[in-house]
Amino acid sequence: MLKIENLHCRLEEEPDTTILKGVSLEVPAGEVHAIMGPNGSGKSTLSYVLSGRDGYEVTDGSATMGGEDILDMDPEERAAAGLFLAFQYPVEIPGVGNMIFLRTAMNAQRKARGEEEISAPDFLKMVRAKAKELNISPEMMKRPVNVGFSGGEKKRNEILQMAMLEPRMCILDETDSGLDVDAMKLVASGVNAMRSPDRGFLVITHYQRLLDHIKPDVVHILSNGRIVQTGGPELALKVENEGYADLIDAA
Amino acid sequence: MMDTVNTMAPWREAFDAFAANDEAAAMGSKSRAEAFARFEAHGLPTKRHEYWKYTPVRGLEPSGAVATREGGDPFADVEAYRLVFVDGRIDMSRSDHAALSAAVEVAGPEGAPWMEGVFGTLQNRDIPGAMFQVERPFADLNMAMFTDGLAVRIPAGTALSKPIHLRYEGSVAAHLRLEMLIEAGASVTVLESGAGALTTGAEIVVEDGASLDHLRAQTEVGERQFTALYATVGADASLKSFTLCADAALIRNETVVVMAGDNGSGHVAAGVMGMDDTLVDNTVYVSHEAEHCESRQVIKSVLDGNAKSVFQGKIFVKQGAQKTDGYQISQAVLLSERAEFNAKPELEIYADDVICSHGSTTGALDEEAKFYLRSRGCTEAEAEALLVAAFIDEAILEIADEGLQGRMRETTSAWMNARAGR
């Protein structure tokens, strides 16, 4: 599904600062991969480069989804192609209603794929059902995007968007940050409900605890811009027990 | 200055011809002559005039044509008492004059006995205690040369069920006048639209406990339009004025609101959308002359291409106008590097127990928000349209009626769609 090869990138404004120094990994459809790593290892940068945020320059390597080069696409083209990033810090957008935002986004993706727009009643039905599963109140849906939302509400709103947009490749950037245990369970069950044989997940996290709830098939350790170890779920437990230092030194 | 003389000669000719030949000129010939003399003495505004620094008027001629842009009348299907003025005269066949006359008192732009306390008294009034009287040449020109208009008295306690819609059409540089007395406890909504007026002049008295909702769409003005609105707001009375402006060669709106009675409320808001070489100027003067009054000025501009927007906003608080709550915000989003927003906020306060604040910001759309929207699939144009709609909405929310709010939102989004299609 997602294939990253030898990905190098630096900041546009600081060309001397190379953040990713040859990341390679592949997430097949149906699998959940986790990326763990200490602060500053390049985890969030990887998510931004994949989703097309300005400010990063890819100097080498490639990233493809279903064989298509995504690095040449605009962010909205990547979204229409089925890529979704759940933000670590979801953006507050005063004045833009959650519903109008979600419907505009859905229909824009459909239009880009040459599909028919979703009708207003179908949209409402779908959003109500999905919001209920995530314990998101109708009142929250009426508010502007993420404005006045608590940390947990923002993350649930991310998962709601993901559930509505039905991407084939989901990247979750530190979705557990700022969540208490109950909120994390809610978010995890939202993610688990979406696991399917034709969908891939890349879960970026600093701590192992999210992975208790979203069980990964593969765990990668990212350090200083490179994947230094890849293993099964037991690798996450090892990080939890021993910290990153030994793993990184061993690499 | 030599060129002032040259520039004003055709205006003098036009006024003399109007005074001699036009039957409308017979109305208030003395005040017309005085107003014209003030206009002539001032001359067409140049950068050297303090309140025209950002908005010089070049190449304006008395008989200049008026151009209407496509886009349609946002109020076309609002149920209203519609009064259509074509080439500066009312078109009775298309106007609900009779129905309006049955509901309230309607007269020509002056002449009714009750107009004595209105016509000319607001426009020519010295604001007591103010450092200077701002000259308003186009208000003077309007008073000198208006050919038609309307005077309306809303009797005490009457809530007029439908808005009064003044529609300006035609292709000549017309001058139209509105005089209005909203008696105690009465309420009315006034809508204005259309390009068929080079100038409009309005004097409105909002008596104690009365309310006026005023909405103006300047979305079809292809060339130029100069408006002047003078209002006094009585005790416990309310005025809400909102103007939506788009893409004119030059629009200048001057709004003077006098808070004359205690506990009054006066709001002046505008949404400005500009592309290409367009210029919109909203100049607002709110004078607080009573206690416990609240005023707001909310001006939002979205500017692309070489478009310019100007906001000059003054809050004047007279001695003794204690517990005044005056607020002013002007913000601009620049969609191009060449677009320009000029804000000139002024506070002049002679009372010691007041809250007055103002703020002004200019910048591009929030890149973070734009990326977030695009990462969900919105195209760049859609993302910008959503953010612009949200930005302008703060001004649109100043409109009391939700249905009319909706119309202004539709017009705004149509403008953004047109922009995206270019």
Please answer whether residues B82 and B214 qualify as being in contact, where contact means their C-beta atoms are separated by less than 8 angstroms. Answer: no
Length of chain B: 422
| pLDDT for the residue B422 | 65
Spelled out in words, what is the top-level CATH class assigned to the domain A2-91+167-250? alpha beta
Chain A residue nearest residue B390, CA to CA: A95
| pLDDT for the residue A203 | 95
pTM (2 decimals)? 0.88
Residues of chain A contacting B382 with CB distance shorter than 8 Å: 104, 108
| pLDDT for the residue B2 | 47
Q: Would the CB atoms of A144 and B390 count as touching at under 8 Å?
A: yes
Instruction: Look up residue A27 and give its amino acid.
Output: V
Residues of chain B contacting A78 with CB distance shorter than 8 Å: 375
Interface residue B30 vs chain A (CB under 8 A): no
Interface residue A101 vs chain B (CB under 8 A): yes
Q: Which of A54-58, A194-198, A242-246, B351-355 has the lowest mean pLDDT?
A: A242-246
The model's pLDDT over A23-37, given as tens digits with 9 standing for 90+, comes to 999 999 999 999 999
Chain A residue nearest residue B384, CA to CA: A96
How many helices (H) and strands (E) chain A has is answered by 10, 12
A182 to chain B, closest Cα gap in Å: 26
Q: Which of A91, A110, A164, A165 to mutate to test the interface with B (most CBs of B within 10 A)?
A: A91
| pLDDT for the residue B369 | 96
**Dihedral class, residue A42 (left if φ above 0, else alpha if ψ from -120 to 50, else beta):** left
| pLDDT for the residue A208 | 85
Closest CA to B24 of B144, B106, B115, B127: B144
Q: Which of A79, A94, A106 comes nearest B375 by C-beta?
A: A79
| pLDDT for the residue B99 | 96
All structural domains of chain A with their residue ranges: 2-91+167-250
| pLDDT for the residue B24 | 83
Q: Would the CB atoms of B390 and A53 count as touching at under 8 Å?
A: no
Interface residue A118 vs chain B (CB under 8 A): no
Q: Would the CB atoms of A79 and B373 count as touching at under 8 Å?
A: no
| pLDDT for the residue A123 | 96
| pLDDT for the residue A21 | 95
Please answer whether residues B184 and B155 qualify as being in contact, where contact means their C-beta atoms are separated by less than 8 angstroms. Answer: no
Chain B residue nearest residue A144, CA to CA: B390
| pLDDT for the residue B109 | 61
Q: Which of A87, A94, A104 comes nearest B378 by C-beta?
A: A104
Distance CA B388, CA B378 (A): 14
| pLDDT for the residue B420 | 78
Residues of chain B contacting A112 with CB distance shorter than 8 Å: 377, 379
Residues of B numbered 345-384 whose beta carbons fall under 8 angstroms of chain A's beta carbons: which are they? 366-369, 371-380, 382
Question: H or E segment at A218?
Answer: strand A218-223
Given a cut of 70, the residues of chain B with pLDDT beneath it are 1-6, 109-114, 125-133, 422
